[in-house]
Structure formats: structure tokens, C-alpha cells
Amino acid sequence: MKLSEYEWPRPHGFTPFDHQKTTSEFLVNNRKAFCFNEQGTGKTASVIWAVDYLMQLGLVKRVLVICPLSIMKSAWQQDLFKFAIHRTVSVAYGAAKKRKEIVNAGNEFVIINFDGVGIVKKEIIDGGFDLVVVDEASAYKNNHTARWRDLRDLMKVIKGLWMLTGTPAAQSPVDAFGLARLVNPTAVPLYVSHFKDQVMYKVSDFRWVPRPEAKTIVHKALQPAIRFEKKDCLDLPPVTFVDRDAPLTPQQLVYYKKLKQEMLIEADGEEISAVNAAVKINKLLQISGGAVYTDTHEVIEFDVSSRLKVVHEVVEETSNKVLVFVPFTHTIELLEKYLTKHGITSEIINGSVSVNRRTDIVTHFQNNVQPKVLIIQPQAASHGLTLTAADTIIWYAPCTSVETYLQANARIDRPGQVNAMTIVHLSGSQVERRMYSLLRGNVANHSEIIDLYKQEIISEGT
């Protein structure tokens, strides 16, 4: 089979990049395989083209895409609508009954989140799927989890498996074991303890370090595989923007809807000033981000577990360093604690950090292996700093200033940057999605803020 024999359906004027064509061809020719292309290199499109080609040949009829909740719609569903508009697509999310109905409906592509697989495992096994695509496959590195066992059970019936991740063994060579057991089981021992002895050695009761030959062993285990890094993809655009969903938790939803109701009552028959509209919009953004400041300067903290989890997902999938812009002071502290708990090194730059300390933080970030993440309050560091050790920016929540947004993004887009860059927008509410749209469109006038306020109070959803 040669991919060049098939003319892919695509939007007018769209031409796939060379590395995407190569990746698609590799996947077509491997029923089970790894794709280790870095984030921002267009893995999703490559997979869609490869699957569509196999469907044209009649070799694949149904595909299950397993991915994080945050990219089910914003990445996979949208890209399928863009690159394979002629295919049927559904997202299996919600109550168990609804998920089962969606899986049984027979659509060619079914998208489901990691922990949803176990809920409808029987329906998937009986659903006539020929291929499973796992995005951010490092979620399956631990073979002792129910999640891993569910996928193993699926693969007893489904013959095809493509696992996508830019960081297959980022924290330890042992991470490769769970992935290899699913794609290339004969390349590793039956038990993880035996594999650990192959790639690590014990230096104390609580400390293991990689053996010199660990990289070679891991490389052999994780085959067949393909990898493109952003720095090697000369045809990539310099900056790629990515949207990730971070749904509001039930607690956030209660307060978000309460504030919207108050806004609706207040707006009834009254003329809203730009200043007042901006204040109300800012409160909605604070709730979405996880911490609201009251009129008496107290902080009301919300459960933002879903958003913190998405930050973790993006950081884990990034080979290089990351900037996380967080507009609100208290939320910065929540994020730092979360990252520390999960073994991710970070430093903070906000208004309370002295000039000398800020210089030290930037120097270490630019020149040392650690920290992996720099958490920044955008108003405190949107000008002047060069942070080209990072090639990825995560906007934890949108700021309200176009100038601040553009200057913050420019921290990595400066002389010295050698990689294509990725800017990730996290959103869980409609006001955040609309604000990002205004920021990217360089819209900063007062009338737009008032329009945003009016759109928000009449909208049904979050």
C-alpha cells in the first residue's frame, strides 16, 4: 500500500506537511505502532488521513479514539470535521446509558475519554471496531491500573492499536513497560519488576537510577515507532494555537450561574457601562480560574481539579520547558502546590518577586535542566524577559488586556528560539472562549467588552 496513490479529501488550498505525510504512511503500514511526534506537529491530522485511507480500502470500518477529556471536542472532533468531513463522528461522553447508545450507534469514529472506556467496555468489544487510537498514551504507562487492564481487554478482540505521545518515558525508563506490553509485548519481560531490573539499578533503599543501556533497551521495546520533533519540522508554522477544554466543576458551575443570574437582573432596563461590564466579566473569569476576590478582599477558593489536571496533561506531553500564565495571584499558589505534588519542578514570577530574585529565576530557567515550568502572572512579566528555553505557553485563564496577552506570548517568540512554538488556551466557560477570541483578534475597545457582557448574560450554557 502506498499512501501517494490516494488523494486525501481536504479543505481547499490545504497541503499536508512532509512530516505529516511520512507519519500517515508509517501508520498505514503498521497495524500496531507508536507515534512519538512532539506536541504541535499535527499528529491528529496524520492519524485521520491514515485512517481515512484504510477506510477507503475497506480495511478499517470503525475506529475508537481514546484521549483526555480536554481534547475530545477541541482537537479530535474539530479536526475530524475539518479533515474528514465525509466521515461520521460521535463523542461518547455523559451518563453510562448515553455512552452505550453512542457506541452502539455505528458511527465510523467514536471519541471517548480514558476513564470512560471501562464504563462501556462490553459495548466497545461487541462494536465492530478495527482500530484503537490512544492520544497522550503516557496515561497507560502503569500496567497495574484499571485503565490499562481495560485497554488490554479491548486489544484481545481489536487488532489495530496506534499509541500517540510525545513523551513515552519522560519520568523513568520503567514507564515504557506498560506501553510496550500493549503494542509490542514480546519485546519486554512478562513482569514489570523484571523490566525494572533491566533498565534501572538500586543505589539505596529508596533510590533507583537508570542503567547506561536503558535508552537502548527502551528504544527496542517501543517499536515500531516514528518520531518528529518540532525543531526538525522546518515546514511548521512558527506558532500553533491549541484549545483545550477544562470543564467547570459542579461547585464552579453553581457560583458561575448565580453570578450570571445577578448580571441578568442588574442589566434589566439599565445601561451598562464598560467599566461595570469589565468588572463582572472579570468575576466570571475568576470563578472559571478557581478563586474569586470579594469586595472585602477575601478569597473564595473553588475546586478546580479538572483544570489543574489539564495543565498536568499538557506539561507531561511537552518535551521542552513550559510557561504557564495565570492572571490571578491566589490561583498561582494552587497550581504550584499541584505541580509539586506531582513531581514537576516550577518557579513563580509575580508582583511580589523582587527584581534580583526574578533575575535568578530567569537565569536558572534558561540555563539549567530544572525547573520544567515557570508560573507567571502576566502583568508582572509580560515585557522584557527572554524565556526561549520554553517553546510552549499555557494560558491557565485569559487575561483581559490585548497588550499583555501579546507581550506575554512574545516571551518565547524571540531571538534564540530554535523550536516551533505552541500556545495552549485552557477554557471551561463561554466567557473564556469569547475572551480568547477577542485577544487573538487584537480587539481591545470598550464596545466589545460591553458586547461580551451582553452575550454572556443571554447565553444558555457556561
Tens-place pLDDT, residues 407-451? 999 999 888 888 889 999 999 988 888 889 888 886 555 446 556
Listed residue (109, 115, 63, 59) closest to 86, CA to CA: 109
Is residue 263 pLDDT above 80, yes or no? Answer: no
Same fold, 12-232 and 239-247+301-458: yes
pLDDT digits (tens, 9 = 90+) for 129-145: 999 999 999 999 999 99
User: Is 4 a residue whose pLDDT tops 80?
Assistant: no
* 32-to-137, 340, 379, 388 alpha-carbon distances in Å: 13, 35, 47, 36
Q: Mean pLDDT across the stretch 38-49?
A: 89
Look at residue 233 in the predicted model and tell me its pLDDT: 74
Distance CA 394, CA 151 (A): 30
pLDDT at 1: 42
Domain 12-232, CATH: 3.40.50.10810
pLDDT at 44: 93
> pLDDT of 83-117, one tens digit each?
999 999 999 999 999 999 999 999 999 999 999 99
The fold of the 239-247+301-458 domain, in CATH, is Rossmann fold (3.40.50)
Domain ranges across the chain:
12-232, 239-247+301-458
Q: What is the pLDDT of residues 283-324, one digit of tens each?
A: 888 888 887 776 666 777 888 999 999 999 999 999 899 999
**Whether the bond into 173 is cis, omega within 30 of 0:** no
How far is the C-alpha of 258 from the C-alpha of 170, rounded, in Å? 42
